[in-house]
Structure 1
Amino acid sequence: MKAAQGRPVALVVLFGLSLLNLSSEWPSNLARPAFVRALDDALPDSFKTARQLLFDQFQRHYPRTPTAQPVTIVEIDEETLASVGQWPWPRNRLAVLIDAIAAHKPLAIGLDIYMPEPDQTSPDKVADNLPKTAAALAAALRALPGHDAILAGSLHAAPTILGAAALDHATLTTSTDLRSAPILLHGADPLPRVQRYDFVLASLPQLQAAAHGQAMLSVALEQGVVRHIPLIMGLGEKLVPSLPLEMLRVATDSSAIEVFADTSGVQAVGVADVQVPTQPRGDIWLHFASIRSTLSRYVSARDILQGTVEPERLRDKLVLVGLTGAGVTDMRTTPLGELVPGIEIQAQVIETIFEGRFLLRPTWLKWAESAFIMGFGLLIIWYVPRKQSRFAVFIRAFPKGVTALGLFLHLLNLLCCFYIFIRFGLLVDAAAIFIILSAVMGCFLSPALLHLQEQTRTDTAAAQAQESARDAAGKAPGA
């Protein structure tokens, strides 16, 4: 059988593609050899893109359905801006909003807002711009409390958390440190494994000192899509929490955030009696709910300022405050293909932690996939070229049935991985299994089918020659 000629090529394809697949998602607990790094640099994202698109499709066909609503988003929307004034507001106006939210007794208030510079509308700043002839007015203005001081008072009086943005480069308003709650480590130091930054865009030190917590708002973008969210990050030489994690700490009145790690990286993070399994880099794959199922969590800041909001929308809730008005918000694309405000992603992280429904792709799963691919691939290489195997007989009898069989097996692979996603929340890479095993099978089927076609043509030509010879013999004289 001509398929046997494909064995050497199939072995090269199997081992080569398996190595390329492994290099695109190298386990963090192993040192990365130089040739693997060179391979990944030469062929970046070789399997990563297919893997991500597959996981996106899993979520699109089975989005998370929220079973609880612990979060309320107070949105500074277009209606609020139209009634209160354009953004940025004077800080005393923002203080009024925080006071109005706090009056309804939420568990915590997280602000998706950066305030790295002093409020230029504060009375003392206005006084600095007055002419010398208005000295009396300037003195009277300087006697008034500054807007930053007013906001600091509101932040201190309520269970507030200020958000900050991690940056890789310095600007006029960045710093290298963030006032944050203690991190209690269990196990190895995870700092070398987590996403690290050198600079942070945070609020004024006066505001940080007044708030009950500070946290990062950063999300991980891959080809413009948010798929996983870091719960713990590095800022310089210290660990800092994400906003959802810090809000849970403040809401439970915990003194510290716990991080459980080993030599491979972060295994879990914990607050109070809640423990969240993570990827080695301290992030989680987020199982997104459609924005259509979460719209009820949004409350306009205008309604709160006007006192028309229902108290139960805020009482005992984790409240996120952010901008959603057109032109003033950061919009993010989710795996569901939806464009949502960045603050919605923070809300979904909290919601996921409350529900305990996590997507997982542990290190052992990559090894299990690789073992399955190698085992099944070697089985194909050993079995398919055997002349008297049932598969060989099947190919000779039904050459076109090979395509149907291949499609059935790949569909079975996809359905099994999708079932594991639904049942256990595990992200199994069916794309790599499909690509590598298809390539291995192609090494045999192509020459075998070509040989079968040649043999069929030869047999047909021989039959036609015999038929012609019989016809000629029948027409001969004396026949």
Structure 2
Amino acid sequence: MAFPLMKRYYDLWVARIRNLLRTAQGRPVALAVLLGLSLLNLSSEWPSDIPRPAFVDALNEALPDSFRSARQLLFDQYQRRFPRKPTAQPVTIVEIDEETLATVGQWPWPRNRLAGLIDAIAALKPLAIGLDIYMPEPDQTSPDKVAANLPKTAADLAAGLRELPSHEAILARSLRAAPTILGAAALDHDTFAASTDLRSAPILVHGTDPLDHVQRFEFVLASLPELQAAAHGQAMLSVSLEQGVVRHIPLILGLRDKLVPSLPMEMLRLATESSAIDVYADTAGVEAVGVADVQVPTQPGGDIWLHFASIRSTLNRYVSARDILQGTVDPERIRGKLVLVGLTGTGVTDMRTTALGELVPGIEIQAQVIETIVEGRFLRRPTWLKWAESAFIMTFGLLIIWYVPRTRSRFATFIRAVPKASTVLGVFLHLLNVVCCFFIFVRLGLLVDAAAIFIILSAVMGCFFTRTLLLVAEQSRTEAAQARAREEDKGHAGNAPGP
């Protein structure tokens, strides 16, 4: 019984769809599809220059990642076909790699040993030293901590240890003597050793306060106050993950009611001896972030789309910390460079997947941001581009709705004469769309969403193709019924009695 009932419902829905597509030659259905998908596309990337209605959030919850995933995959393909080729190497990464750990000892190191590495780097005259390391707790190997764990019978030894400087004091002295920046981890929840503030350089806002537009956090896992006071800068270590892939990098972030810089911007501030970082914003969000005479155009959230270079083209920026400590490194690899210090050893490194599909250390992403800013090669997806895409989709979609159903048009006559031409023409137009958008990416660095254009206009054309297929199917059924009726008539005529 279930099967006949399902078939009846199926036939009923097919009949309703057929009737809808017959109305005004299918134009109302196509218009509804065009408007509905265009709204869904806008809701997946709502322009920041107008308030976001409540129904948009509801639409996103009902249909999550409707166009966002296709857009992200398309932009990834742009980069994979045309990765950035570095033309400068302003950054050197001093990696605490497996060879270093095997020689110096396992991580975490005592703070006095890390101080020795900073001293060795500073002796080679870098512009700035950024540590992709945060130290929120005291060093338990510090002399005073060791003294507290000794038995009472070793009171003289304990007293001697307490007279020695702590490892924090040794590291603070090294941080103060060199142009150093400490990294801190942004957190959206409270944890042990987390705090709510960070000693960071001032950020000067030109225009509207953008705090409500940037990515904000309530807590931070930062180094000890003694170390923060000694370093010449503090910076947030944060990347934006979308389905496990890094595509956006924030240049500024919010920590409660305060704007704080990312590591790349703080490195550039210290290297240029600037006193502050400039942020240019309006009511739509952040327009640019600058330091000295460099301005970086950003998305409204204060982030940038990073144009990645393949890790294969950046391997020569890596220097083992062991070579630094042993004094065997070429000084020119450090002198006048922006030096990032981070972990790359197996089991201790923070690995990230880039838009190129490569798994790289987190410190590499920070280096690529600095490199991109120095080269001045930015990817951009400004708000006006989203409006331009929407206008193109609506214009071309309405043109399709007006012209395609016209039975006496040249297009309709051509399609009737050459049925396969519609498929060939559709494929050609979509290929032209992708090629033009990729050309704009290569030449201008603009991220045009060819995926949304393809999906929405294909759906509009599909309304008319569906209508045609239903008409053809109905005509075929009518012809088959007529043929059966003729056969039956012939049969009745053959069985009729003679005179």
TM range (shorter): over 0.9
1:3 touches 1:447 (CA, 8 Å); kept in 2? Answer: no
* Aligned residue in 2 for 1:133: 153
Question: Among the aligned pairs, what percent are the same residue?
Answer: 82
* Aligned residue in 2 for 1:388: 408
User: Could you tell me how far 1:391 is from its partner in structure 2?
Assistant: 1.4
Q: Does 1:102 align with 2:122?
A: yes
Equivalent position to 2:275, from 252, 255, 267: 255
- Listed as ranges, the matches of 1:197-216 within 5 Å are 197-216=217-236
Q: Does 1:13 align with 2:27?
A: no
Question: Structure 2 length as normaliser, TM-score?
Answer: 0.91
Runs (4 or more) in structure 1 with deviation over 2 Å come to 1-5, 449-463
Equivalent position to 1:315, from 328, 332, 335: 335
User: Could you tell me how far 1:387 is from its partner in structure 2?
Assistant: 1.0
1:399 touches 1:449 (CA, 8 Å); kept in 2? Answer: no
Secondary structure, in 3 states, of the residue corresponding to 1:116? coil
User: Could you tell me how far 1:457 is from its partner in structure 2?
Assistant: 8.7
Equivalent position to 2:360, from 326, 335, 340: 340
Q: Does 1:427 align with 2:427?
A: no
* Aligned residue in 1 for 2:143: 123
Q: What amino acid does structure 2 have at the position aligned with 1:394?
A: F
Secondary structure, in 3 states, of the residue corresponding to 2:295? strand
Equivalent position to 2:464, from 439, 444, 448: 444
* Aligned residue in 1 for 2:345: 325
- Listed as ranges, the matches of 1:163-312 within 5 Å are 163-312=183-332
> CA deviation digits over 1:161-192, x for unaligned, max 9?
00001000111110000000011110000001
Alignment RMSD (CA, Å):
1.9
User: Could you tell me how far 1:456 is from its partner in structure 2?
Assistant: 7.7
Q: Structure 2 CA distance, aligned partners of 1:459 and 1:41?
A: 47
Q: What amino acid does structure 1 have at the position aligned with 2:64?
A: P
* Aligned residue in 1 for 2:434: 414
- Listed as ranges, the matches of 1:446-465 within 5 Å are 446-452=466-472
Q: What amino acid does structure 2 have at the position aligned with 1:130?
A: L
> CA deviation digits over 1:100-123, x for unaligned, max 9?
000000000000001000100000
Q: How has the CA–CA distance of structure 1 residues 107 and 142 changed in structure 2, closer, same or farther, with 3 Å as cutoff? A: same
* Aligned residue in 2 for 1:62: 82
User: Could you tell me how far 1:450 is from its partner in structure 2?
Assistant: 4.2
Q: Structure 1 CA distance, aligned partners of 2:326 and 2:374?
A: 31
User: Could you tell me how far 1:98 is from its partner in structure 2?
Assistant: 0.3
Q: Structure 2 CA distance, aligned partners of 1:440 and 1:181?
A: 53
1:266 touches 1:282 (CA, 8 Å); kept in 2? Answer: yes
Q: What amino acid does structure 2 have at the position aligned with 1:21?
A: N
User: Could you tell me how far 1:80 is from its partner in structure 2?
Assistant: 0.2
* Aligned residue in 2 for 1:156: 176
User: Could you tell me how far 1:462 is from its partner in structure 2?
Assistant: 9.5
Q: Structure 1 CA distance, aligned partners of 2:455 and 2:350?
A: 36
User: Could you tell me how far 1:454 is from its partner in structure 2?
Assistant: 5.8
> CA deviation digits over 1:342-397, x for unaligned, max 9?
00000000000000000000000110000000010000000000111111112211
Question: Structure 1 length as normaliser, TM-score?
Answer: 0.95
> CA deviation digits over 1:137-177, x for unaligned, max 9?
00000001110100000000000000001000111110000
Q: Structure 2 CA distance, aligned partners of 1:117 and 1:300?
A: 26
Equivalent position to 1:93, from 102, 109, 113: 113
Secondary structure, in 3 states, of the residue corresponding to 1:83? helix
Secondary structure, in 3 states, of the residue corresponding to 1:227? strand
User: Could you tell me how far 1:451 is from its partner in structure 2?
Assistant: 2.9
Moved more, 387-396 or 228-237: 387-396
Equivalent position to 2:62, from 27, 36, 42: 42
Q: Does 1:143 align with 2:179?
A: no
Secondary structure, in 3 states, of the residue corresponding to 2:157? helix
Q: Does 1:398 align with 2:413?
A: no
Query: Unpaired runs of 5+ in structure 2?
Result: 1-20, 487-499
Q: How has the CA–CA distance of structure 1 residues 213 and 253 changed in structure 2, closer, same or farther, with 3 Å as cutoff? A: same
Aligned residues: 467
1:232 touches 1:241 (CA, 8 Å); kept in 2? Answer: yes
User: Could you tell me how far 1:5 is from its partner in structure 2?
Assistant: 2.5
User: Could you tell me how far 1:52 is from its partner in structure 2?
Assistant: 0.3
Moved more, 238-247 or 448-457: 448-457
Q: What amino acid does structure 1 have at the position aligned with 2:241?
A: L
> CA deviation digits over 1:268-320, x for unaligned, max 9?
01100000000000000000000000000000000000000000000000000
Moved more, 239-248 or 394-403: 394-403
Q: Structure 1 CA distance, aligned partners of 2:381 and 2:23?
A: 37
1:4 touches 1:385 (CA, 8 Å); kept in 2? Answer: no
Moved more, 32-41 or 71-80: 32-41
> CA deviation digits over 1:50-94, x for unaligned, max 9?
000000000000000000000000000000000000000000000
* Aligned residue in 1 for 2:50: 30
